[in-house]
């Protein structure tokens, strides 16, 4: 007996970081806004649609963005602020289904199949979600709806910005066939170039291609997968409550750091960031890893275990600082272009869990809590540890 069709929604916030900045400062509305690293080695995190008209894109070096759009307003990311707005958006999702697969702060898949008994259609749910996000945050979300993840995501992409599109089973070929083959999931640059060499440039071209040509370009296994995807088949489930894999923060320096005290101050700054995020998500980490990049691009990674799983900044910094010091003293002329710290190996926290006698002292936990509340209210960096002050003026 065939399964009833699923109802999948893909929600993607439009130019999320830049839109939050415009929301908080209405004077930015109508101007090109670019959020990203502001130094010589910075990269663009998000550009609003006014800036994209000049060819500015995410992951572009900020220096290139400045050449293309010198009149833009350039803003350093406020990750804690974006996380707070994201939490409001995900609260909206939870009102319609527990089946939420978050892909990032601003993007998620929702399986609302079980909610159709309460609402007349997937479009009704999608419209309610879109309107609720707008009412509670002042931001636009693009919403795609279909019977699988591939097509739901395509719906949000094709209708951006401020999009709303449902792709029904009998409309799949009409939407897919004209699209460049590089738009298809699993087709990277190498596969795209190989397909172009055998005359396959659109999804429709691939479906019309003979097996020999397609197998020659990408191999028999990938060819079979692509044929299924190109007719809109996708059985991937929405994976709810996917465990957090890692939480990281890093910084690329405009001028290489050759002073250990300054490097330690930057390490503390990153530990404050990841600690706050871990506490905000109510998870405890087992592993602390540091990322150390020498100029020009030689990257070293070191990691160690916390004595007990935790998320207190002093505990994280103690491990990260030790790893940094060991690496530093192993090199005759240490210099850093980039420094980062990542937490992983998470245990979900439970209110009734037994307290470990070796856990961080209550005073340290209280200081983290006070710092988190002040920074949440007044903005990231409003309250920092004294050691971080050495990084001020060096951004």
pTM of the entire predicted model:
0.68
Position 371 confidence tier, pLDDT thresholds 50, 70, 90: low
End-to-end Cα spacing for the chain: 62
Residue ranges, comma separated, of all CATH 3.30.1490.100 domains in the chain are: 246-391
Q: Supply the DSSP symbol for 148.
A: S
Residue ranges, comma separated, of all CATH 1.10.150.20 domains in the chain are: 173-230
Interatomic CA distance for residues 149 and 242, integer angstroms: 16
Residue ranges, comma separated, of all CATH 3.30.70.270 domains in the chain are: 1-167
- Contact criterion met (CB below 8 Å) for 328 and 260: yes
- Class of the 1-167 domain? alpha beta
The model's pLDDT over 237-279, given as tens digits with 9 standing for 90+, comes to: 998 866 667 888 888 888 899 999 999 999 999 999 899 888 8
Asked: is 173-230 a CATH 3.50.50.60 domain? The reply is no
Position 203 confidence tier, pLDDT thresholds 50, 70, 90: very high
Position 151 confidence tier, pLDDT thresholds 50, 70, 90: very high
Q: Which residue has the higher pLDDT, 145 or 221?
A: 145
The reply, when asked if residue 106 is annotated as ligand binding, is yes
Interatomic CA distance for residues 25 and 75, integer angstroms: 12
Distance of CA 329 to CAs 112, 289, 335, Å? 55, 18, 11
The matching CATH number, chosen from 3.30.1490.100, 3.30.210.10, 3.40.50.1820, 1.10.510.10, for 246-391 is 3.30.1490.100
Interatomic CA distance for residues 173 and 232, integer angstroms: 8
The residues annotated with a catalytic role in the active site are 107
Q: Supply the DSSP symbol for 74.
A: E
The reply, when asked if residue 12 is annotated as ligand binding, is yes
In this structure, of 185-194, 245-254, 352-361, the range with the lowest mean pLDDT score is 352-361
pLDDT over threshold 60, residue 202:
yes
Q: Which residue has the higher pLDDT, 354 or 321?
A: 321
């Amino acid at each position: 007996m065939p399964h009833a069709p699923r109802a999948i929604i893909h929600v993607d916030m439009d130019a999320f970081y830049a839109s939050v900045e415009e929301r908080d400062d209405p004077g930015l509305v109508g101007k090109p806004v670019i959020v990203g690293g502001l130094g010589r080695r910075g990269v663009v995190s998000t550009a609003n649609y006014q800036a994209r008209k000049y060819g500015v894109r995410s992951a572009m070096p900020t220096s290139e963005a400045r050449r293309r759009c010198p009149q833009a307003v350039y803003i350093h990311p406020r990750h804690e602020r974006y996380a707070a707005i994201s939490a409001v958006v995900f609260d909206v999702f939870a009102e319609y289904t527990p089946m939420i697969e978050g892909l990032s702060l601003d993007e998620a898949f929702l399986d609302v199949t079980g909610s159709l008994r309460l609402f007349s259609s997937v479009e009704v749910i999608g419209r309610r979600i879109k309107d609720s996000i707008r009412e509670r945050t002042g931001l636009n979300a693009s919403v795609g709806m279909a019977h699988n993840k591939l097509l739901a995501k395509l719906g949000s992409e094709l209708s951006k910005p401020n999009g709303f599109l449902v792709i029904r089973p009998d409309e799949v070929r009409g939407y897919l066939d004209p699209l460049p083959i590089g738009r298809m999931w699993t087709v990277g640059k190498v596969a795209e170039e190989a397909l172009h060499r055998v005359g396959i440039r659109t999804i429709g071209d691939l479906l019309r291609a003979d097996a020999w040509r397609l197998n020659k370009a990408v191999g028999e296994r990938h060819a079979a997968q692509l044929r299924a995807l190109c007719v809109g088949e996708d059985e991937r489930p929405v994976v709810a409550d996917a465990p957090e894999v890692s939480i990281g923060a890093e910084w690329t320096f405009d001028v290489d750091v050759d002073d250990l005290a300054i490097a330690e101050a930057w390490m503390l700054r990153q530990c404050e960031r990841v600690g706050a995020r871990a506490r905000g998500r109510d998870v405890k980490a087992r592993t602390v890893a540091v990322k150390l990049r020498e100029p020009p691009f030689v990257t070293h990674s070191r990691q160690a275990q916390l004595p007990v799983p935790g998320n207190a900044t002093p505990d994280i910094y103690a491990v990260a600082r030790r790893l940094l010091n060991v690496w530093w003293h192993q090199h005759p002329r240490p210099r850093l272009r980039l420094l980062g710290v990542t937490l992983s190996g998470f245990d979900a926290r439970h209110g009734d869990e037994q307290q470990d006698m070796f856990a961080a002292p209550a005073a340290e936990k209280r200081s983290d809590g006070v710092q988190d509340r002040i920074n949440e209210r007044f903005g990231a960096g409003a309250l920092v540890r004294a050691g971080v002050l050495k990084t001020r003026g060096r951004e």
